[in-house]
């Protein structure tokens, strides 16, 4: 019979079906509407069509063709084989998925063969509250000593009852196992298995930092064995050094890893300080590999990104469902920088009716720089930081130099935290600027009263 689909070819101008032993009814649409454009000579069993074909009417009673027993058997066997194949394939995929789920964070993680649940239990005195040093979104951190390490370690135990904890464990492990930088926390080992009760148990082991996190230093409160007269304080140079440390870590994650990594939760409490007050970025539980985001840009993923991060540090585009990007980390860094030098959290109660930390800083620069700087920031210099003389002029220039430095630092914070992502300063450029500010700040004070920091 003449294929019915030919009548749907709107641009078909000539169709020659002559002498092809066609039979049955001719279609009536498309090219078949034009008797001069459709040649049907030599097909004696055709019927119907438009009147110009001058063919007999078709008999509406179509003969029913019955399948032979052999053909029925062949069809039955083929469908049976197809059904069995589909069942076996489904079972295989389910088994593979289950195996991957069990082994993705188990077999790969247990490449570290030097840790067990019992060793973690012993290291923390049974996860004693006296060894608890912090509680995060997805777990608790304990300090302890493992036999294979001579120094104190930090053991992060995941709360697997918390939704997203397993994904956080996997993200943190995958992010840190193949990267190493002096300003990133070092993952020493990990465990994924069961505890002594037969329940799932996951833990990550890091190097321990005795000076706590940056948040505790920016917003100091008296702690045990610390006098009220000598609270924690960070000098100007210390804050600038830590800001450079964090920028160096982000620059490495964004531009120097084999696959760019977006941290997604940069904030002062996730910056740990070692004994030399060097900053180390930690907590990669929300981190994302950039290639994975590009490959999976589904609506479901985009809509879930709005909750990624911490209020106050999360860029505005995440709240609108945009995909995570290095620009989001830069925004968080800008807010962190403003907080470091103003001493005000982005969630401070003073920020009401649309006012936020960024607008507060922008409205007061540069004229009221003294009014917005953290009152806990010591103005006096620590030994070896800046050489000072006793003359009045140089004291004046020193004060001007410090103010100019603070203005430039806060301007970098503003440039990193603009609302439009692609207008934000690149973290590499911010790092260069901060190095220049530190270099100028550490140079001897100029005797020129019209002194100006030379930063591009």
Give 227-274 pLDDT, tens digit per residue.
444 567 899 999 999 999 999 999 999 999 988 999 999 999 999 999
**Closest to 452 measured CA to CA, from 440, 434, 435:** 440
Q: pLDDT band for 412, please (50, 70, 90 cuts).
A: very high
Burial pattern 387-401, b for ≥16 Cβ within 10 A else e, equals eeeeeeebeebbebb
* pLDDT over 90 percentage in the chain: 42
Same fold, 104-208 and 212-456: no
The pLDDT of residue 195: 87
The pLDDT of residue 387: 42
The pLDDT of residue 391: 46
For the domain bounded by 104-208, which CATH number is listed? 3.30.200.20
The pLDDT of residue 293: 44
Please state which architecture CATH assigns to domain 212-456: Orthogonal Bundle (1.10)
Q: pLDDT band for 291, please (50, 70, 90 cuts).
A: low
Q: pLDDT band for 151, please (50, 70, 90 cuts).
A: confident
Catalytic residue list: 265
The pLDDT of residue 296: 39
pLDDT at residue 71 is higher than 50: yes
> What is the average pLDDT across 95-100?
71
d(CA 423, CA 425): 7
Burial pattern 35-68, b for ≥16 Cβ within 10 A else e, equals eeebebeebeebebbeeebebeeeeeeeeeeeee
Domain-wise residue ranges, the chain: 4-53, 69-101, 104-208, 212-456
Average the pLDDT over each of 54-68, 150-164, 187-201, 293-307 and give the range with the smallest value. 293-307
> What is the average pLDDT across 434-440?
95
C-beta separation of 122 from 196 below 8 A: no
Report the number of secondary-structure helices (H) and strands (E) in the chain.
13, 13
Q: pLDDT band for 101, please (50, 70, 90 cuts).
A: low
Flag whether the pTM goes above 0.85.
no
User: Residue 392: CB partners within 8 Å, gap ≥ 6?
Assistant: none
**Closest to 21 measured CA to CA, from 49, 43, 40:** 43
């Amino acid at each position: 019979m003449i294929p019915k689909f030919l009548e749907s070819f709107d641009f078909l101008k000539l169709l020659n079906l002559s002498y092809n032993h066609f039979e049955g009814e001719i279609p009536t649409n498309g090219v078949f509407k034009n008797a001069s454009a459709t040649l049907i000579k030599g097909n004696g069993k055709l019927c119907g069509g438009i009147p110009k074909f001058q063919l007999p009417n078709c008999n509406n009673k179509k003969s029913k063709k019955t399948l032979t027993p052999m053909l029925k058997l062949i069809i039955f066997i083929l469908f049976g084989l197809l059904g069995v194949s589909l069942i076996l394939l489904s079972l295989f995929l389910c088994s593979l998925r289950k195996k991957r789920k069990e082994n993705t964070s188990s077999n790969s993680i247990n490449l570290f063969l030097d840790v067990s649940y019992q060793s973690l239990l012993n290291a923390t005195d049974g996860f004693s509250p006296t060894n608890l040093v912090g509680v995060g979104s997805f777990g608790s951190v304990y300090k302890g000593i493992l036999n294979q390490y001579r120094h104190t370690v930090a053991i992060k135990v995941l709360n697997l009852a918390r939704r997203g904890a397993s994904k956080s464990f996997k993200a943190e492990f995958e992010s840190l196992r193949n990267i190493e930088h002096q300003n990133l926390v070092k993952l020493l080992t990990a465990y994924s298995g069961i505890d002594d009760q037969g329940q799932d148990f996951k833990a990550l082991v890091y190097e321990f930092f005795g000076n706590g996190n940056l948040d505790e230093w920016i917003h100091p409160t008296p702690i045990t064995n610390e006098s009220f007269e000598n609270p924690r304080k960070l000098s100007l140079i210390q804050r600038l050094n830590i800001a450079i440390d964090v920028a160096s870590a982000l620059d490495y994650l964004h531009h120097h890893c084999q696959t760019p990594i977006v941290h997604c939760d940069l904030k002062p409490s996730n910056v740990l300080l070692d004994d030399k007050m060097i900053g180390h970025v930690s907590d990669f539980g929300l981190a994302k590999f950039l290639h994975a985001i590009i490959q999976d840009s589904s609506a479901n993923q985009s809509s879930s990104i709005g909750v990624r991060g911490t209020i106050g540090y999360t860029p505005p585009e995440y709240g609108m469902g945009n995909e995570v990007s290095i620009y989001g980390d830069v925004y968080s860094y800008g807010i962190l920088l403003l907080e470091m030098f103003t001493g005000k959290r982005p969630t401070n109660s003073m920020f009401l009716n649309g006012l936020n930390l960024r607008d507060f800083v922008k409205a007061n620069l540069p004229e009221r720089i003294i009014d917005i700087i953290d009152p806990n920031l010591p103005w006096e210099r620590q030994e070896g930081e800046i050489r000072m003389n006793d003359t009045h002029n140089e004291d004046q220039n020193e004060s001007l130099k410090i103010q100019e430095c603070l203005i430039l630092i806060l301007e970098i914070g503003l440039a990193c935290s603009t609302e439009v992502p692609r207008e934000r300063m690149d973290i590499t450029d911010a790092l260069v600027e901060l190095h220049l500010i530190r270099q100028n700040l550490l140079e001897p004070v100029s005797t020129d009263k019209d002194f100006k920091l030379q930063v591009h």
